[in-house]
């Protein structure tokens, strides 16, 4: 049954929003009013997911909502920020009641975990598009940026690589959101690395979240730092499910390096900090792997053992993957 705009906002979003002292005025007025804590800097991110571009059309509504919030949380994680509140702009082709309830349940499942209030938004009609804007806080001057890497720093990643891309491949083959699949879970419900980002804010020299593939995002971080990198292919952390599903070795490294949708953090850290950081990451149950080193020369060199791999081979893998991505 179709719901009117007011009912959508009331039933699916306003009634479920988490109460928070900082929210002086939430959903229902012309704008939200928020108290910002003294002595903090505000960190803002926004990300849009378009049906057929950023997620397959058949994606369950819960997962679309979950992912829209998760990718924004991931941007805050990469800045070392603590999330504070978010807004939601939702464009819908029709107001299907069941779809909206499912959407709102996926959204608040994740929002509740981070005690994150939804403070406003917009609801319009059109092709399915979900925009989430998120705000968080950091101590003054403590935001983690892409630009502080120094030659000699270790390059590390959280979690495992390539699972999101392998998940997309699996979904395209099966066309259903199989439950309990690590790979599909990674694709639709990436875990935002908020706690890891907070740990890193005191220790890392640079950080980025991996949304477009390690190679592309590391490249951004290196360019903004004015540095280059040397990566060890055999050090890239792969999950068991990934290695079982993707059997061909060159496809494995192509997805791990160039596949999108991992939402892990890639960061640089002075070598003397590595051990303490790795112990701290253990305490929050976050896997962390050193995959290379920052170098002076502004290029990314990839090694398999002692042998340097031709970067064009990697880009071929990337383009091949992009073509697959286009058909979702």
The token pair at 83 is: 């999330």
- CA dist., res. 118 & res. 97, Å (int): 20
For the bound state, the minimum distance from the C-beta of residue 36 to ligand ADP, rounded and expressed in Å, comes to: 18
Nearest-5° angle of CA 45, CA 183, CA 303? 80
For the bound state, the minimum distance from the C-beta of residue 118 to Mg ion, rounded and expressed in Å, comes to: 15
For the bound state, the minimum distance from the C-beta of residue 235 to ligand ADP, rounded and expressed in Å, comes to: 43
Helix, coil or strand: residue 2: strand
Binding site for ligand ADP (CB under 6 A): 9, 13, 27-30, 88, 90, 118, 120-123
**Whose Cβ is closer to ligand ADP: residue 106's or residue 121's?**
121
Residue-level length of the chain: 328
From the list 118-126, 232-240, 279-287, 292-300, the region that binds Mg ion by CB under 5 A is 118-126
Give Cα 274 distance to the centre of its chain: 23
**Whose Cβ is closer to ligand ADP: residue 22's or residue 325's?**
22
Nearest-5° angle of CA 127, CA 133, CA 138? 165
Give Cα separations from 218 to 58, 207, 317 (angstroms): 31, 9, 17
**Whose Cβ is closer to ligand ADP: residue 14's or residue 150's?**
14
**Whose Cβ is closer to ligand ADP: residue 28's or residue 127's?**
28
Helix, coil or strand: residue 35: coil
For the bound state, the minimum distance from the C-beta of residue 26 to Mg ion, rounded and expressed in Å, comes to: 15
Sign of the Cα pseudo-torsion (303, 258, 171, 101, in order): positive
**Whose Cβ is closer to ligand ADP: residue 21's or residue 29's?**
29
For the bound state, the minimum distance from the C-beta of residue 11 to Mg ion, rounded and expressed in Å, comes to: 17
Give the end-to-end CA distance of the chain in Å, rounded to a whole number: 28
**Residue 27: which of Mg ion, ligand ADP, none does it interact with, CB under 5 to 8 A by kind?**
ligand ADP
122 binds Mg ion (CB under 5 A): yes
**Residue 30: which of ligand ADP, Mg ion, none does it interact with, CB under 5 to 8 A by kind?**
ligand ADP
Q: Which residues bind Mg ion (CB under 5 A)?
A: 122
């Amino acid at each position: 049954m179709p719901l009117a705009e007011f009912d959508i906002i009331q039933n699916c979003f306003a009634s479920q929003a988490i109460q928070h002292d900082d929210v002086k005025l939430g959903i229902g007025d012309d704008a939200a009013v928020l108290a910002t804590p003294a002595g903090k800097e505000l960190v803002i991110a926004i990300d849009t997911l378009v049906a057929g571009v950023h997620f397959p059309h058949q994606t369950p509504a819960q997962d679309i909502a979950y992912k829209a919030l998760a990718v924004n949380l991931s941007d805050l994680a990469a800045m070392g920020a603590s999330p504070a509140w978010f807004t939601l702009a939702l464009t819908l082709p029709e107001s299907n009641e069941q779809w909206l309830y499912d959407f709102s349940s996926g959204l608040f499942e994740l929002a509740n975990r981070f005690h994150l209030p939804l403070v406003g938004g917009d609801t319009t009609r059109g092709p399915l598009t979900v925009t989430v804007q998120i705000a968080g806080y950091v101590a003054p001057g403590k935001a983690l940026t892409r630009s502080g890497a120094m030659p000699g720093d270790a390059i590390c990643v959280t979690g495992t690589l390539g699972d999101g891309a392998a998940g997309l491949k699996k979904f395209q083959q099966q066309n259903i959101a199989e439950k309990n699949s690590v790979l599909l879970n990674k694709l639709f419900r990436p875990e935002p690395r908020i706690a890891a980002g907070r740990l890193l804010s005191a220790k890392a020299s640079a950080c980025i979240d991996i949304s477009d593939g390690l190679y592309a995002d590391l490249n951004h971080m290196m360019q903004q730092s004015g540095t280059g990198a040397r990566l060890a292919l055999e050090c890239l952390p792969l999950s068991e499910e990934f290695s079982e599903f993707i059997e061909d070795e060159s496809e494995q490294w192509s997805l791990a390096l160039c596949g999108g949708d991992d939402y892990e953090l890639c960061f640089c850290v002075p070598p003397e900090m590595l051990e303490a950081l790795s112990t701290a990451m253990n305490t929050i149950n976050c896997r962390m792997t050193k995959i290379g080193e920052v170098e002076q020369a502004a290029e990314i060199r990839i090694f398999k053992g002692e042998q340097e791999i031709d970067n064009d081979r990697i880009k071929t893998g990337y383009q091949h993957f992009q073509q697959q991505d286009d058909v979702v």
